[in-house]
Chains A and B, each alone.
Chain A
């Protein structure tokens, strides 16, 4: 029984939407899961805030917790000035979290296992930092690349290194999320295929198959942790980068 661990990441065209030149733009399963994530988040937040009771119910309590969690993350990394980016960070965090957790459901598609998605999210952060930094500080934004207290003769080298370090941010930002989700889902699939392979090998195989089964259970728990953690890491790094745009050259 051949199990292809990559098959789960296949993009399937559901129906065509538009045609630009010779390129067909189709609504894919990836897009469908993204829409589903947005619907889930919207329903969750609207449902949580609809009653606005003084003593929150379960859904309202969770919605408030999510808000406060993101708000505290922003305040602790980018200060109160960072709160103007709250909608942006909150959208990123909830979107990635929902998409990651929905992807853990068996047979579901995980949007963040495609680097084009994570790279787009990371580029939106990177461009926000650039645009806001230049809009707010003008050319002083370049102070970001000039650390203080560096002897003048090695300054050009340091500036080069700082610029490269800055440019590498969207890459590490996107690859981290993408690779974590991809690796986790492949590992899950490989261990799950061990169960069927061993299980088809008679009674001893059946007994042996309990080992990968236990592993899959443990891995699923780990993946749930990773799903949350990567959304959190993405959000906190977004805050750290935005902090550079708000206070460059400190």
Chain B
């Protein structure tokens, strides 16, 4: 780990007495506190950078497909229950497509929506 290399210069000077040891422990404690301190802006904007382009591309495509699928499913169910075929499917496919596009734009970080 990176901490192992940083601690090396500390290890080189041997502890002379109790005071030096406690001073070193103090320094180590300060450094650990510095390193472990969580960032202040915890509720900041979410990261949009996915670690890999494949995952990013796959995420975008599934977002679009999922939107269209949900629209189609709801439209089809409404058609069956209310007997308004084919209007439910037409309207909800279009809405679902819009939702899919919205999903994709959100996933890509194009729309800074409601400041997640």
Contact = CB atoms under 8 A, between A and B. Distances in A.
Interface of A: 61, 75-77, 79-80, 144, 147-148, 157, 160-162, 164-165, 167-169, 171-172, 175-176, 179-180, 225-226, 229-230, 232-233, 240, 243-244, 247, 249-250
A77 B44 CA distance: 8
Contact of B62 (A79, A157, A176): A176
Contacts of A172: 59, 62-63, 65-67, 103
B40 to A, nearest CB: 11
A79 B45 CA distance: 10
A47 B11 CA distance: 28
A61 B70 contact: no
B116 interface: yes
B116 A164 contact: no
A148 B46 contact: no
Interface in B1-33: 1
Contact of A175 (B66, B95, B113): B66
Contacts of A61: 1
A147 B113 contact: yes
- 3 closest A-B pairs by CB: A172-B66, A164-B99, A168-B66
26 contacts: A61-B1, A75-B38, A75-B39, A76-B46, A144-B114, A161-B102, A164-B70, A164-B92, A164-B96, A165-B102, A167-B70, A168-B63, A168-B69, A171-B69, A172-B62, A172-B63, A175-B62, A175-B65, A176-B62, A179-B62, A180-B58, A225-B52, A229-B52, A230-B55, A233-B55, A233-B59
Interface in B34-61: 38-39, 42-44, 46-47, 50-52, 54-55, 58-59
Contacts, number: 96
B67 A165 contact: yes
Q: Is the interface of B mostly helix, strand, loop or mixed?
A: helix
A160 B67 CA distance: 12
Interface residues of B, number: 37
Contacts of A147: 113-114
A75 B66 contact: no
B114 A249 contact: yes
A193 to B, nearest CB: 24
A243 B46 contact: yes
Contacts of B55: 226, 229-230, 233
